[in-house]
Amino acid sequence: MRQFIKQTFASLIGSLAGLMLFFSLGTVGLLGLIIVAASKDTGPQVKDKSVLIFDLSLSITDTDPTSSTSAAIEETLSGDQADTITLRTVIDSLDKATNDPRIVALYLDGSRTTTGTETGLATLKEVRQAMERFKASGKKIIAYDVDLAEKEYYLSSVADTIILNPMGSMELNGFASQPLFLTGALEKFGIGVQVIRVGKYKSAVEPLLLKKISPENRQQLQALLGDLWSEFLTTASQSRKVPVPQLQAIADSQGVLTASDARQRKLIDKVAYFDEVVAELKQLTGETKEDESLRQIRLTSYADVPAKQGNNRSSNNKIAVIYADGEIVNGEGGVQQVGGDGFAKQMRQLRLDEDVKAVVLRVNSPGGSATASEIIQREVRLTRGKKPVIVSMGDVAASGGYWIATYGNRIFAEPNTVTGSIGVFGMLLNVQKLANNNGLSWDVVKTGRLADSQTISRPKTPQELAIAQRIVNQIYNQFLDKVAESRKLPKQKVAQIAQGRVWSGIDAKQLGLVDEIGGLDDAIKYAAKQANLGKDWELQEYPEVRSLEERIIKKLTGNSHARNQELPDPLTQEFLKLKEDLAILQALNDPKGVYARLPFNWRLE
């Protein structure tokens, strides 16, 4: 399809007749032309004894970030490969390949992941489980890399054979989180920050108040990273038959291993060049001639290959998967945001749709606006009153992300899901010092003591802070009540495990915050069971992704921006992190200024 559309557009745009046709037909006519032309394309072809190529540099996300932009068409017209793929696409493609006799092996290509994947560990676990099903069918998995990072090794360790380039290296040094603190910069520029919060572990505001990690935050981060690292070690140990203590000793003593060292310690199987890997793959496909090209198909293309007849599920009974993916904000939301109003509207539509028999709420969010979270949660509760609502937690479902999940009939999380963070904070900024340093000042006339309490021209008075603290306390108590009621836990226990503390999925299950350890597929199967659908159901995903033809029209009538694919230098990477942190501040739009959110700059390094 990609090559066909590219050639079609080259013909249309490259000729005067094509341009005249475009202007005479208009948008609707062009759309019809594209649909008719595209319908003649037979799609990607799979040859017998082919190798499925999985590029590990792809970022795996819950939702397609190109669904609301023209990026998909830009990729089509330029010939560039997409750099993201959805989790459902990966899992469905791997399961389809497991039962496809034309696919004989899976090749994990890690040679492009020079900076390491941004995909979260919980997502990688679900992908890994799909790979295990592929392997269990008797088909081979071959992994090759040049510089093998820990996340890539988490996936690659399932392979029958792991191969590292002779000049390559392998990272095995543990997990770290290195928050960036803005306090000194804010002080330097004269921006004042006053914070109101509940929960001694509610560390989201620490980057604006402190210059290093607080003891409470250090404690919770150490515990969380310890759980994530333990799950990594256990998984790698089972696949590679290397004891966990031995893996830990390597991490503590070496950190980075050469290819030969990694092989000697049985962390990988072979040291070889890329051409030697290709030769090994050719043996699996039965090709003997040196000049013969490897029979292969990339996973991104294979996703468009129809499943074998009889495997396609079609039914009037729908299970809806609705994705809460990104920052929770007030209003409609935008790209990688969960808008309280927009998401609630979608949930209402699913509740009223008689064909939708169950809803799977997939949460991959650090939280955000407390008001938006409550708006969404209300719709979740109402929907649960009419049909099962099953929650699947992804890489992170914390604070506001946990808020919207609490009233699900059943909550699933992976062992390495980051969840909890039951706490609330408010952030009050003022620019008095910044303005005064530049010759600016304010004066005020008012009819009441608190008339100008929302101003940023000065710090809040003790009375104003007390009022704000009272609001935060009330919202925190509402949070505790909702968790206690929905999870059937004593409020006193909830108060003990709340305090804004984050937990791993495995700890959250032990504490009663989640019900089962499992991924998105597990949640979908459970939803079908709860709705008594047997095998008579069809999956639908929301928000719905716009069709390629709709994206083409968007592309032709909008602006295009070339993406910079060059790898940033280390200094630029730090500035990009700062840009991300400042973007989070821009997303803080709760009307009360109260938030239920993870630490601003939570990253796993």
Distance, CA of 361 to CA of 350 (rounded, Å)? 11
Amino acid, single-letter form, for residue 383: T
> DSSP letter string over 384-396?
HTTS-EEEEEEEE
Q: Are 134 and 104 in contact (CB under 8 A)?
A: no
Active-site hit among 301, 399, 421, 504: 399
Catalytic (active site) residue 399: yes
- Residue of 125, 151, 202, 460 marked catalytic: 202
Strands 140-148 and 161-172: parallel
How far is C-alpha 96 from the geometric centre of its chain's CA atoms? 23
The CA R_g of the chain, rounded to the nearest whole Å, is 26
Cβ within 8 Å of residue 311, ≥6 positions away: 96, 99
Query: Catalytic: 308?
Result: no
> What is the spatial distance between Cα 222 and Cα 248, in angstroms, rounded to a whole number?
16
Strand partners, 397: 365, 419
Tell me, what DSSP letter sits at residue 461? P
Q: What is the largest CA-CA distance in the chain?
A: 90
Structure tokens belonging to residue 211: 């210059």
Distance of alpha carbon 237 from alpha carbon 230, whole angstroms: 10
CB 366 within 8 A of CB 398: yes
Instruction: Please state, in angstroms and rounded to a whole number, the distance separating the CA atoms of residues 183 and 193.
Output: 9
DSSP, res 204: G
What are the strands, taking DSSP E only, across 270-372? 270-271, 296-298, 318-325, 327-329, 337-339, 356-365, 367-369
Q: Can you give 551-579 as a three-state secondary structure string?
A: HHHHHHHCCCCCCCCCCCCHHHHHHHHHH
Would you say how long the chain is, in residues? 605
Q: How many CB atoms lie within 10 A of CB 245?
A: 10
Provide the token pair at 391: 């929650």
Q: How many CB atoms lie within 10 A of CB 482?
A: 19
| Active site (catalytic) residues | 202, 399
